[in-house]
Amino acid sequence: MRKLTLSFLLIAIAVPTMVSAQPQFKALLFTKTAGWHHESINEGVDGIRKLADRHQFQVDWQEQANRISSENLKQYDVIIFLSTTGDILNEEQQKAMEEFIQSGKGFVGIHAASDTEYEWEWYTQLVGRMFEIHPANQTTRVTV
């Protein structure tokens, strides 16, 4: 009886740990650029990976547009465009992304995601508004 009780306790302790280690969702982090390439992309990728570790979701980082396909997107719950720029997807890839979103999956656009695919009206509607102008870079000092 003691062995049975001990076994039950060990299982009761281990199961929540095993369950909580499972990723809650899977994200495709996409950073392809066909225009300005932001130096901060790598820091953004690192930040999203830290969020994934902290909040138990899986993230795959890609810069290749061929990963935006109907077949490949089936494994993801959300696409994250991080500082993407320019015309980066062909018509087939655009269609795959439209189907992905229309199936109820998610999209997150970060920073220059609004500087992407200007000629694709569906994407403009998804993002809400496209980038128009960037002020000149400025140097400043911040005292904390």
Per-residue pLDDT tens listing for the chain (144 residues): 454 444 444 454 454 544 556 779 999 988 888 776 777 778 888 899 999 999 999 999 888 878 999 999 999 999 999 888 788 899 999 999 999 999 999 999 988 777 787 788 988 898 876 776 667 777 888 888
CA distances 103 to 35, 76, 98, 136, Å, are 30, 12, 9, 40
Q: Facing residues of 79 across strands?
A: 28, 107
Question: What's the gap between Cα 60 and its chain centre?
Answer: 8
Q: What is the pTM of this model?
A: 0.75
For the domain bounded by 22-127, which CATH number is listed? 3.40.50.880
